[in-house]
Structure 1
């Protein structure tokens, strides 16, 4: 099973880009010299001996109107609550009878995600350790095989049976459980995998379950990936 990745923890991609833009905008708006503007130099004072004695008292200029009160700042965006970081231990999906330990894997040398090695007895699912932990803000990514060398189904053989509203439970090493609700499933060709949609930043804590799909008997390969999108239950 080959699954593409950008090669870094995608939960921080948008934040990093925003930081770069902010740095550029600050550089473009740098403050000028701190020396205050002295204004136009005053003309030479009129001496008392030459000043006209019948000069009228000058009328003071009208008072400048009070500046308008600044507009109130818009309220800060309220982000959905999330859980503190804690590595995942197990994953269960009651509606399709799945329960699996979660191993932790990173990236291959070519930038694709490592997948669990199946010795014929069925491999557990794996959490991509470059993604947020399940329950943290952002998309936690979990991979699993759709089949097995023994010919039986893999741990994620029945992902297509999941429907919106189904629950996914991830137990974590701090003793807590992150409960997610399925939003949708989507099928993507491997040569058109939407990296940003799957791995990009999210405002809430989300989960991605990814497996292979689209088996081609002529080549013995899977041409597609199937992805389940789920959101942390409030």
Structure 2
């Protein structure tokens, strides 16, 4: 059920695992005094290592085996696009077409989020993540609802099914077309940061909104995430 409460985005909080692995978590959606979003303190995705070389906190890092003539050749990485910032997002299956804001960091280190001036807000690309089509998970945020009880730009993410096309037009005139793999709802208290934000061998997309509205607290306790992969 979609709430008419004018929700807001909460924070993308950064955490560091084993001193090198950057992970982000979307949390804290709820109603603010003025219904505008607020955000926490994320960092750049640029230092993400391969999951195979990342040790869990407190664990020993495995030493990679030395190569031998009998070792199997490494598989080629999936093809990706060169860097180009996103301009628009289109998902025909749910009638969604939105310009994309560029979301960076405020002076206090918190993440900017799409601002709703009363008529809803477009979705926004977090510029600390890869551009859509580059290798790694590109992150786009959108509200599930809007001020005045209107629906948000990402209100219908739950309707997306595996195989659905997600199109992102880019500044260089190219279009990155992604295919939905799956969607999942996560509690903010048990958010799988590695699964959502960890490095990937190919170009992927994460569409993220709030979910799990609790009318008693007027907060969103969960996030809903769409996982999509570049169609090449």
TM-score, normalising length from structure 2?
0.74
Q: Which has the higher strand share?
A: 2
**Which of 144, 147, 150 in structure 2 is aligned with 1:149?**
147
Structure 1 CA distance for aligned equivalents of residues 191 and 83 of structure 2: 28
CA RMSD of aligned residues (A): 2.6
Structure 2 gap segments, 5+ residues each: 1-8, 15-41, 56-62
Structure 2 CA distance for aligned equivalents of residues 17 and 160 of structure 1: 31
What do the CA deviations read for 1:3-38 (whole angstroms, capped 9, x no partner)? Answer: 433232335321599599xxxx8xxxxxxxxxxxxx
Structure 1 CA distance for aligned equivalents of residues 131 and 116 of structure 2: 24
Which residue in the other structure is 2:113 paired with? Answer: 115
What do the CA deviations read for 1:172-199 (whole angstroms, capped 9, x no partner)? Answer: 0000000000000000111222222111
Structure 2 CA distance for aligned equivalents of residues 170 and 3 of structure 1: 24
The question of whether the paired residues in 1 share the 8 Å contact of 2:51 and 2:199 is answered with no
| Cα drift, residue 111 of structure 1 | 6.2
**Residue aligned with 2:47, SS:** helix
The question of whether the paired residues in 2 share the 8 Å contact of 1:11 and 1:199 is answered with no
Q: In the alignment, does 2:11 pair up with 1:13? A: no
Residues 228 and 109 of structure 1: CA distance in aligned 2, closer, same or farther (over 3 Å) = farther
Structure 2 CA distance for aligned equivalents of residues 210 and 112 of structure 1: 17
Structure 2 CA distance for aligned equivalents of residues 207 and 4 of structure 1: 16
Residues 109 and 160 of structure 1: CA distance in aligned 2, closer, same or farther (over 3 Å) = farther
Question: How many pairs does the alignment contain?
Answer: 188
User: How do residues 184-203 of structure 1 correspond to structure 2 at under 5 angstroms?
Assistant: 184-203=182-201
Q: Which has the higher helix share?
A: 1
| Cα drift, residue 79 of structure 1 | 0.7
Which residue in the other structure is 2:210 paired with? Answer: 212
Structure 1 CA distance for aligned equivalents of residues 46 and 117 of structure 2: 32
| Cα drift, residue 106 of structure 1 | 2.2
Which has the larger Rg? Answer: 1
Structure 1 gap segments, 5+ residues each: 26-69
Which residue in the other structure is 1:225 paired with? Answer: 223
Which residue in the other structure is 1:2 paired with? Answer: 10
